[in-house]
Chain A
Amino acid sequence: DAGITQSPRHKVTETGTPVTLRCHQTENHRYMYWYRQDPGHGLRLIHYSYGVKDTDKGEVSDGYSVSRSKTEDFLLTLESATSSQTSVYFCAISESGQGLLVYEQYFGPGTRLTVT
């Protein structure tokens, strides 16, 4: 397995509380991504990072923020969790691609978040 860990692996929280999920990599890859996976919707990109302090929005970024202060860590924050954010969250990493090519993404083990 690529050196990617996510914490926590499981979390139950109440509506309105802040939640932070952590992704940590030991591969020194430039790109890091946060996805959510829901039945009927597949994997959807929330935010991604292309370097320290460099981040951009994905398809479903509303209600989420991210930060990357070190190459190895990418944090996803739900400022005020809602029940619609109950999901499985995956972090992924990737090296820089050459030209127009996108290189392989490798996924972490996931975090199952339940918002009650």
Chain B
Amino acid sequence: QKEVEQNSGPLSVPEGAIASLNCTYSDRVSQSFFWYRQYSGKSPELIMSIYSNGDKEDGRFTAQLNKASQYVSLLIRDSQPSDSATYLCAVNIRSEGSARQLTFGSGTQLTVLP
């Protein structure tokens, strides 16, 4: 079992719709969770961090964390074609090595159709 799992997609949504991206993780004591956006040929760009159970909103983005069920999700409201990218989930998995390391999921490719 992968330590951080995401649906690889591709996920297609029409412009203006809500895009929902999901991530599950294996370490029950993980404390830090991040979502990155990566455009093709570019480096990952941090869009959300979340540390506590519940929802965290930033503009059109909402991160949702449920530690009991070990999942974190990202909602993108009013999706725009410019949101088309690969979204990476990252979690501090402490099964091996330092707690300061992040383990990344393999990413979900999102396409927003005009």
Q: Name A residues whose Cβ lies closer than 8 Å to a Cβ of B.
A: 31, 40-45, 48, 50, 56-59, 90, 94, 97, 100-110
Contact = CB atoms under 8 A, between A and B. Distances in A.
A51 B96 CA distance: 20
B49 interface: yes
B46 interface: yes
Interface of B: 29, 31-32, 34, 36, 42-46, 49, 51, 88, 90, 92, 97-102, 104-107
Given A102-B100, A104-B46, 13 more contacts: A42-B106, A43-B104, A48-B98, A50-B100, A97-B32, A100-B99, A101-B51, A102-B32, A102-B101, A107-B44, A109-B42, A109-B43, A110-B43
Closest 6 CB pairs of A and B: A102-B32, A42-B106, A43-B104, A102-B92, A107-B43, A100-B31
Contacts of A44: 104
* Most B Cβ at <10 Å: residue of A31, A104, A106: A104
Given A42-B104, A48-B101, A58-B101, A101 B31 contact: yes
Contacts of B31: 100-102
A43 B44 contact: yes
A50 B98 CA distance: 10
A44 B90 CA distance: 11
Given A42-B107, A43-B88, A56-B97, A107 B102 contact: no
Given A41-B106, A42-B104, A101-B51, A108 B98 contact: no
